[in-house]
Amino acid sequence: MMSLIPVPEDLYLFHEGNLFQSYRMLGAHVAEVDGISGVRFTVWAPHAREVRVVGDFNCWDGTEHPMQRISTWGVWSVFVPEVGEGEFYKYEIVTQTGTLVYKADPYAYWSELKPGTASRVYSLEGYEWADQAWQEQKQQRSIYHSPMNIYEVHMGTWKKKPDGSYYTYRELADELVAYVKDMGYTHIELLPLAEHPYDRSWGYQATGYYSVTSRFGAPKDFMYFVDRCHQEGIGVIMDWVPGHFVKDEHGLREFDGKPLYEYDDPVMAEKPEWGTLTFDFTKPEVVSFLISNALFWMDVYHIDGLRVDAVASLLYLNFGKPKEQWIKNANGGDENLEAIEFLKKLNHTVFGYYPDALMMAEDSSAWPLVTAPVHSGGLGFNYKWNMGWMNDMLKYMAIDPYFRRGSHNLLTFSFMYTYSENYVLPLSHDEVVHGKKSLLNKMPGDYWQKFAGLRVLLGYMMGHPGKKLLFMGGEFGQYDEWKDLEDLDWEMLGYDSHRSLKQYSRDLNHLYLQEPALWELDHQPEGFTWIDPHDQKQSITTFMRKSNNPDDFLIIVNNFTPVYHPKYRIGVPFAGEYVERFNSDAGVYGGSGKLNPGKLKTEKVSWHYQPFSLHIAVPPLSTVIFKPISISKPIAKRGKERGKADA
């Protein structure tokens, strides 16, 4: 049982913006007073004249359980005996004008199933975790020098039952986890699971930040899901939304009759592009609420990291606003100074508690040093989505292959900045919805070329420095764009082309896991070398990826046209024998079967500024990867002066 009344030290820290586990003080907690079990309810509502608890236990009559103000800054609390787990409740708030408003608990651990809007009493204690091996492994490895290939999932539409109902957290712990492990992904990224009223917001407009959505089960069922992921060696990342919240009446908007979680100034508060409200980062209690929430998912649910949504909307005051609503900060600029400080404090705090956490910024801006430490002037994230790479690649792949030569820079420009941040390369849900078409259907050409084009896109992504992310369905060629109320078109796997693409994605993922050259030096320039970025005429790129072992490297050739090159010469750094390690054009993947069998021996012909070269077959619309099996390196000769010194 928890302590009964919030202690002064915690109240002080909460009002200072420094209570980083404020969920232990606020909300509904099973407790005991004088041997009587019940629930202590605590809520922040500084503008309220009165606050009461209503629920099934008092027939929703607030006069029975008024709360006491225990803080001059507006924290209210009451112990209600003989109330237990599962009870529905809300806060009945009497505003300064005497109006009654009924609010869900901002710190509730569980919520009534939609369309209901009440909170539910729930104890998070008692789950026995079995992920100790995973936790120890995380502490021993460097995320920067390890493989990270993320499968992005919307739990409500990955799969549905024949009657249209959802799979539960526990059912997904079997089906989804087994699928992800078999496919060779290292992490699952979940679209937001904080409670939200509207399915089509995908969770990005929340009402219950501490309440894992009841759509798929109870909180301990979600613990079981995460636990199963970890037992199978799969990390779990969750999308997290500190930039804005929904306006629904039972949520955070004007929580105690006045703006509280949002800015007092309506121009500052409004996010007109999304119809939502911005958190007020000048209020210390809001900072305590949000940073505590980030830690909550790690403390309670063992989440491995957060993908922080819409960071650009936090960084800039006028993000998404019409020009007539533009405002300036105290320095005359467009930056949201307090939100920037919040992000720095968030990351500094999270890494203080969890040094091996993943904090990923979904940031579409050109803000510098997003993944630099706070003490070095950065925002303090350890990863950033590479939106520039994604936009350039999808723009390039949409061009008719015969005209791609004029846009070759879209393939190569990302290498100018790829080491400026620690990047994740995302092909996410945002790119396959709202009329943007699925990845497969973005590819130009006939049916065969569409599949070949998607294979080379995925192959190029796997070879490009940076961690990887793919939204569900992309791995088997979902033809329709994401239908956010229906499940994926799994029946497509009854067709050879889709089944072959799934096999390709699986083999490509497992190749990635097996080859340290594809991830060990992702964030260091030493891990990448161009062989030829300039074959614009034929839309071919050739480069090397390297691991820490100087003898371990891969040569990756990407052909972005449907033209076959049976005798294409590439430069290589060392004499010896090479083999084709992987070919997206293999017949088993639905390709034309133009392979490079056997051992390939180098020629003493300088090419691409390399001392040796190979003649290879480059299939149409393909990624082909070569690996040395025996090489000879020249022995460095000591100069005369060095020799004298040694003697």
Which structure tokens are listed for 82? 């003989």
CA–CA distance, 644 with 333 (Å, rounded to integer): 63
Rg of the chain over Cα atoms, rounded to whole angstroms, equals 28
Tell me the β-bridge partners of 569.
615
Instruction: Say how many C-beta atoms besides its own lie within 10 A of residue 94's C-beta.
Output: 19
* Contact assessment for residue 531 and residue 544, using Cβ atoms and an 8 Å cutoff: yes
* Contact assessment for residue 224 and residue 217, using Cβ atoms and an 8 Å cutoff: no
Residue 566 preceded by cis peptide, ω within 30: no
Identity of the residue numbered 57:
F
* Contact assessment for residue 356 and residue 317, using Cβ atoms and an 8 Å cutoff: no
Contacts for 45 with CB less than 8 Å, ≥ 6 apart = 51, 74, 76, 91, 93, 255, 256, 260
Tell me the β-bridge partners of 111.
119
Annotated catalytic residue within 92, 309, 475, 487: 309
CA–CA distance, 108 with 86 (Å, rounded to integer): 12
CA–CA distance, 137 with 135 (Å, rounded to integer): 5
Could you say which DSSP state residue 226 is in? H
Say if strands 110-111 and 100-103 run parallel, antiparallel, or are unpaired.
unpaired
CA–CA distance, 259 with 279 (Å, rounded to integer): 10
CA–CA distance, 235 with 367 (Å, rounded to integer): 28
Does the annotation mark 309 as catalytic? yes
Tell me whether residue 270 is exposed, middle or buried, using C-beta atoms within 10 angstroms of its C-beta: 0 to 12, 13 to 18, 19 or more.
buried
* Contact assessment for residue 235 and residue 186, using Cβ atoms and an 8 Å cutoff: yes
Which structure tokens are listed for 282? 């000048």
Annotated catalytic residue within 227, 362, 481, 580: 362
CA–CA distance, 620 with 452 (Å, rounded to integer): 8
Tell me the β-bridge partners of 622.
559
Contacts for 168 with CB less than 8 Å, ≥ 6 apart = 216, 217, 221
Could you say which DSSP state residue 634 is in? P
Q: Please give the angle made by the CA atoms of 487, 488 and 493, to the nearest 5 degrees.
A: 140
CA–CA distance, 79 with 89 (Å, rounded to integer): 13
* Contact assessment for residue 180 and residue 158, using Cβ atoms and an 8 Å cutoff: no
CA–CA distance, 274 with 254 (Å, rounded to integer): 18
Does the annotation mark 362 as catalytic? yes
Question: What SS3 class is residue 630?
Answer: strand
Question: What SS3 class is residue 383?
Answer: strand
Q: Please give the angle made by the CA atoms of 175, 179 and 180, to the nearest 5 degrees.
A: 120
The residues carrying an active-site annotation are 309, 362
